[in-house]
Amino acid sequence: MSRSLSALLTKTMICAIIFEKNSDSVLQSAKKAIEMGADILEFRIDVLENPDPETVQRLIYEIDYPIIATNRMQEEGGFFNGSEKERIEILLKAAKYAQFVDIELQTDEKYLSQVIEASNSSIVSYHDFERTPPFEELTNVVKMQREIGDIAKFAVMPNSLQDTLTVLKVLSNVENTIGIAMGDLGRYTRVVAPLFGSPITYASVNNKSAPGQLDISSIKNILRILEVMD
């Protein structure tokens, strides 16, 4: 591996997913993830039972660690049961203390711009749990994301090995983009993506939030091996 690839691995952050139903479990999971060496945490607000803006802001403040605040809509695999207005109000409140706010590209333009403007930094995301769009289509999605946010993120479902290669091909042609091929077939992309410039790779703590997700220790060990091979 060249020195430039080794540098990419060094820059890639391991993000632990905090995927819990109540406040105590959120704090415990966050503490465990930090102890395991996660660089940043993604707080899946939509998994909380009856989340409210004040509770979410308090939890982010108490965790006191770099956080990506995510309140995933049901259309993209989330669990939030409130109205779209309520979902956005929670994200706007979370934006005060979170390092990043992750907001879906398909969010209504009015709400999308509000969240991005309120965020310290933004991740504009796109999920497809059925397929992997062709290279040109996926590249156009990333282009739209990059035009409005700081980092683009896409997670797609591969139905063939070629689909996983499409994900890596897109990553090799763009910057500041997180790309994931989900499921068992795409599992390897979670550790290979950093070699293609992905700034963040996601890992589980107690509960997996997406098919094919690896735990923090596994990802750290694999990335360490790749660095040694430099």
Q: Is 169 a catalytic residue?
A: no
Catalytic residue among 31, 153, 169, 208: 153
Catalytic residue among 11, 21, 85, 127: 127
Please give the structure tokens belonging to residue 172: 């090799």
What are the angstrom distances between the C-alpha of 143 and each of 127, 140, 149?
Answer: 15, 5, 10
Please give the structure tokens belonging to residue 105: 């590209």
List of E strands, 91-205:
100-104, 122-128, 151-156, 177-181, 200-204
Q: Which residues contact 88 (CB under 8 A, 6 or more apart)?
A: 107, 111, 114, 115
Q: Is 85 a catalytic residue?
A: no
- Tell the residue number behind the tokens 């890596």, with chain if given: 168
Residue numbers annotated as active site: 127, 153
